[in-house]
């Protein structure tokens, strides 16, 4: 089993850290993992994406031409990565700020109102954990226990008191994701 | 400093820093530059001067850092620098001086796109600079090309071993892909730094001060041409020995290969995926991955050139290593290049297409 995933959005949305949690959770399950950021000069507001591969077998390339799953969190990322999803693959997107919705009919399309859900929870920073929860609802690549362990690993000690909020956000993500087609 | 075989997840740059501390490195000198800054950052965070006594200096420039490396090497210490392409360009004078003075030392280049200040994205554009001698005179540095985070960690100790075995600078030629990506790694076992007495025993040439028997003069200068030629002949004999003994490479699915890809470092990882895709279509492609770029695995490529119908050199540059492949192949089969430049990294699909267009259906 191998999952080739791209997560793409704006810098500051937590794209890279979401990928990191996924990669660590894969590590804790004893799987092979790679985490390859498209690192750029931008920080907040620029585009950011990360390729995460979680596999039972050794991984060759950390860089891919096509993906099993694309999680896109803004219009430029949707424009860039929708066409790179393998036929039969999965697209997850947040409609916030999307003017041209996904067009393809040969893939499964899921919608997650994570921006709205984060606002409802009065915790915009939990946005990426809501998205991760949604991703794991659709593709249970790694177990919840490992994700929580990964949260402990990736969050600095001084932020560990926020783990319950992150857990809640993950749970919310599982609930709010909906299948469009 | 506890022993462990724990499997960790980290960036290639971080792995280099942790490996250096564990390999008994005495000193690191560096100057921040993307995409290698995590080496210096990790060392600063780990504070090895409090544990192993390894010193970490942020130099005022790359020129300063490489000359600190010269100084450390001259006293027999295990020392290293790291930088990225434009920074390594600045270091070339120091590297040729070290080669001339026969000083050990590790230089890590986490390459980015050039020429000039270029870009911060990955590249393999420094192949010529690394293997042809970026500085003046007839010299070579041993060049190791890691293709994984594990190799970034493992090659630190290997580099020090080779540097001291041959009294020669060793260059680790990595790039922004391997430096920035995270994957699994088991760090090397902890090895203490050598004592001054051990250095005195192992490095009788080192200029370690008054308690030495006789003089140790460390220099690359010799104004008497006869003597300088003698020194050059000695260096060439050493390089010949390195070429005979230290070639390292890895083969992937070459047994039944009809076509061959030659690629190193991150390009080899991407090419391996391209081979998986080709094999799924029934095209028998294999790969030779040079691990040492100098000395180059020319004999092995020559051997494979009798077996395959064509060779594609996949490099993240305009085609540099292809010259070494063509020298090895001597025209027996077609050798073509595919690569991207300026910080663009080829995807596996592009390599499959290039292989078909340039080699299989040529």
Specify if B209 maps to a domain: no
Probe site for chain B from A41, A52, A65 (most B CB atoms < 10 A): A65
Evaluate if residue B278 carries a pLDDT over 80: yes
Whether B134 and B265 map to the same domain: the answer is: no
Whether B153 and B60 map to the same domain: the answer is: yes
Beta bridge partners of B35: none
Q: Which two tokens stand for residue B347?
A: 């995807």
Phi first, then psi: what are they for B264, rounded to 5°?
Answer: -125, 160
Domain of residue B179, CATH code: 3.40.50.970
**End position of a domain, from candidates B201, B234, B263:** B201
Q: What is the ipTM of this complex?
A: 0.93
At A12 the pLDDT is 85
Domain of residue B266, CATH code: 3.40.50.920
Whether B294 and B195 map to the same domain: the answer is: no
Which residue in A27, A36, A64 is closest to B348 by CB distance? Answer: A64
Specify if B182 maps to a domain: yes
Angle at B158 between CA B46 and CA B219, to 5 degrees: 90
* Cα–Cα distance for residue pair B44/B147, rounded to 1 Å: 25
Whether B266 and B163 map to the same domain: the answer is: no
Tokens 């029934």 -> residue: B282
Beta bridge partners of A47: A10
Q: In B, which residues are within 8 Å of A37 by CB distance? A: 180-181
Specify if B341 maps to a domain: yes
Q: What is the largest CA-CA distance in chain A?
A: 45
**Residue A42's closest chain B neighbor by CA?**
B120
Evaluate if residue A39 carries a pLDDT over 90: no
Residues contacting residue B165 through CB under 8 Å, at least 6 positions apart: none
Contact at CB, A62 and B9, closer than 8 angstroms:
no
* Model confidence pLDDT, tens digit, residues A59-99: 999 999 999 999 999 999 999 999 999 999 999 999 998 99
Whether B181 and B326 map to the same domain: the answer is: no
How near does any CA of chain A get to the CA of B105, in Å? 30
* Model confidence pLDDT, tens digit, residues B162-208: 999 999 999 999 999 999 999 999 999 999 999 999 999 999 999 98
Q: In B, which residues are within 8 Å of A53 by CB distance? A: none
Whether B117 and B259 map to the same domain: the answer is: no
Specify if B107 maps to a domain: yes
A64 to chain B, any CB pair closer than 8 A? The answer is yes
**End position of a domain, from candidates B182, B201, B220:** B201
Tell me what percent of the residues of chain B surpass a pLDDT of 70: 98
Put simply, the chain A residues between 89 and 128 with a CB less than 8 A from any chain B CB are none
A60 to chain B, any CB pair closer than 8 A? The answer is yes
* Model confidence pLDDT, tens digit, residues A110-161: 999 999 999 999 998 899 999 999 999 999 999 999 999 999 999 999 999 9
Number of domains in chain B: 2
Query: Quick one: DSSP state of residue A84?
Result: G
Nearest to A25 by CA among A151, A125, A120, A179: A151
At B1 the pLDDT is 44
- Give the mean pLDDT of B328-356: 97
* pLDDT confidence tier of residue B210, bands split at 50, 70 and 90: low
At B4 the pLDDT is 61
What is chain B's Cα-based Rg? 21
* Cα–Cα distance for residue pair B352/B208, rounded to 1 Å: 55
Beta bridge partners of B177: none
Whether B166 and B256 map to the same domain: the answer is: no
Tokens 């990360």 -> residue: A50
Which residue in B9, B272, B274 is closest to A33 by CB distance? Answer: B9
Beta bridge partners of A48: A9
**End position of a domain, from candidates B201, B228, B260:** B201
Specify if B233 maps to a domain: no
Identify whether the C-beta of residue A48 lies closer than 8 Å to the C-beta of residue A42: yes
Probe site for chain A from B8, B182, B287 (most A CB atoms < 10 A): B182
Contact at CB, A59 and B183, closer than 8 angstroms:
yes
Whether B183 and B263 map to the same domain: the answer is: no
How near does any CA of chain B get to the CA of A86, in Å? 13
* pLDDT confidence tier of residue A42, bands split at 50, 70 and 90: low
Q: In A, which residues are within 8 Å of B34 by CB distance? A: 39
Whether B303 and B196 map to the same domain: the answer is: no
The sheet carrying B27-30 orders its strands as B55-58, B27-30, B79-83, B105-111, B169-175, B142-144, B292-294
Q: In A, which residues are within 8 Å of B184 by CB distance? A: 27, 32-33
Domain residues for B329? 250-360
Specify if B230 maps to a domain: no
* Cα–Cα distance for residue pair B188/B4, rounded to 1 Å: 9
Probe site for chain B from A23, A41, A60 (most B CB atoms < 10 A): A60
Whether B323 and B187 map to the same domain: the answer is: no
* Model confidence pLDDT, tens digit, residues B67-104: 999 999 999 999 999 999 999 999 999 999 999 999 99
Residues contacting residue B353 through CB under 8 Å, at least 6 positions apart: none
What is chain A's Cα-based Rg? 15
Torsion of CA B19, B23, B25, B31, to 10 degrees: -10
Phi first, then psi: what are they for B115, rounded to 5°?
Answer: -75, 175
Whether B44 and B187 map to the same domain: the answer is: yes
* Model confidence pLDDT, tens digit, residues A45-65: 678 899 999 999 999 999 999
Evaluate if residue B5 carries a pLDDT over 80: no
SS (H, E, C) A89-135: EEEEECCCCCCCCCCCCCCEEEECCHHHHHHHCCCHHHHHHHHHHHH
- Give the mean pLDDT of A11-27: 94
Relative to beta strand A67-72, strand B55-58 is unpaired
At A44 the pLDDT is 60
Angle at B153 between CA A11 and CA B235, to 5 degrees: 120
Contact at CB, A35 and B347, closer than 8 angstroms:
no
Specify if B123 maps to a domain: yes
Domains and CATH numbers, chain A: 2-179 (3.40.920.10)
* Model confidence pLDDT, tens digit, residues B126-140: 999 999 989 999 999
DSSP H helices, B168-281, are 176-180, 196-202, 225-245, 265-280
Whether B179 and B257 map to the same domain: the answer is: no
Angle at B72 between CA B217 and CA B37, to 5 degrees: 150
Neighbours of B80 (CB within 10 A): 31
At B211 the pLDDT is 65
Identify whether the C-beta of residue A106 lies closer than 8 Å to the C-beta of residue A86: no
Specify if B254 maps to a domain: yes
């Amino acid at each position: 089993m191998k999952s080739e995933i791209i997560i793409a959005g704006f810098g500051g949305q937590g794209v890279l850290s979401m990928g990191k949690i996924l990669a660590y959770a894969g590590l804790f399950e004893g799987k092979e993992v790679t985490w390859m950021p498209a690192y750029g000069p931008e920080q907040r507001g620029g585009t950011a994406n990360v390729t995460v591969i979680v596999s039972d077998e050794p991984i060759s390339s950390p860089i891919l031409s096509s993906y099993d799953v694309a999680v896109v969190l803004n219009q430029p990322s949707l424009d860039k990565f929708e066409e790179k999803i393998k036929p039969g693959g999965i697209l997850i997107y947040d409609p916030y700020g999307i003017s041209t919705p996904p067009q393809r009919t040969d893939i499964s399309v899921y919608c997650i109102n994570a921006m709205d859900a984060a606002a409802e929870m009065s915790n915009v920073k939990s946005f990426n954990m809501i998205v991760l929860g949604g991703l794991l609802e659709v593709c249970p690549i790694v177990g919840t226990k490992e994700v929580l362990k990964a949260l402990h690993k990736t969050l600095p000690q001084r932020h560990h008191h926020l783990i319950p909020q992150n857990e809640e956000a993950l749970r919310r993500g599982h609930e709010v994701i909906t299948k469009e087609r | 400093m506890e022993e462990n075989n724990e499997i960790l997840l980290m960036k290639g740059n971080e792995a280099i820093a942790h490996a250096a501390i564990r390999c008994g490195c005495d000193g690191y000198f560096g100057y921040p530059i993307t995409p290698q800054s995590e080496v210096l950052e990790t060392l600063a965070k780990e504070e090895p001067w409090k544990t192993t006594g390894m010193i970490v200096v942020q130099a005022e420039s790359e020129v300063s850092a490489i000359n600190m490396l010269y100084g450390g090497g001259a006293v027999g210490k295990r020392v290293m620098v790291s930088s990225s392409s434009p920074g390594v360009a600045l270091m070339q004078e120091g590297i040729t001086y070290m080669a001339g003075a026969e000083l050990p030392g590790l230089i890590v280049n986490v390459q980015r796109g050039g020429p000039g200040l270029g870009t911060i994205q990955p590249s393999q554009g420094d192949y010529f600079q690394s293997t042809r001698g970026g500085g003046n005179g007839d010299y070579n540095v041993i060049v190791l090309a890691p293709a994984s985070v594990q190799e970034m960690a493992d090659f630190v100790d290997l580099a020090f071993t080779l540097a001291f075995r041959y009294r020669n600078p060793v260059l680790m030629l990595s790039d922004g892909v391997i430096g920035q990506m995270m994957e699994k790694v088991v760090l090397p076992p902890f090895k203490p730094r050598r004592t001054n007495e051990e250095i005195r025993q192992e490095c009788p040439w080192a200029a370690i001060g008054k308690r030495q028997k006789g003089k140790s003069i460390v220099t690359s200068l010799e104004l008497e041409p006869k003597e300088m030629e003698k020194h050059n002949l000695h260096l060439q004999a050493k390089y010949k020995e390195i070429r005979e003994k230290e070639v390292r490479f890895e083969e992937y699915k070459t047994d039944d290969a009809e076509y061959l890809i030659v690629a190193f470092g991150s390009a080899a990882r991407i090419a391996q995926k391209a081979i998986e895709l080709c094999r799924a279509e029934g095209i028998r492609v294999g790969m030779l991955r040079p691990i040492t770029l100098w000395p180059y695995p020319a004999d092995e490529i020559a051997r494979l050139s009798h077996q395959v119908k064509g060779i594609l050199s996949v490099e993240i540059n305009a085609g540099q290593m292809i010259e070494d492949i063509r020298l090895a192949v001597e025209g027996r089969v077609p050798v073509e290049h595919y690569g991207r430049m300026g910080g663009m990294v080829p995807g596996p699909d592009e390599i499959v297409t290039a292989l078909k267009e340039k080699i299989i259906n040529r």
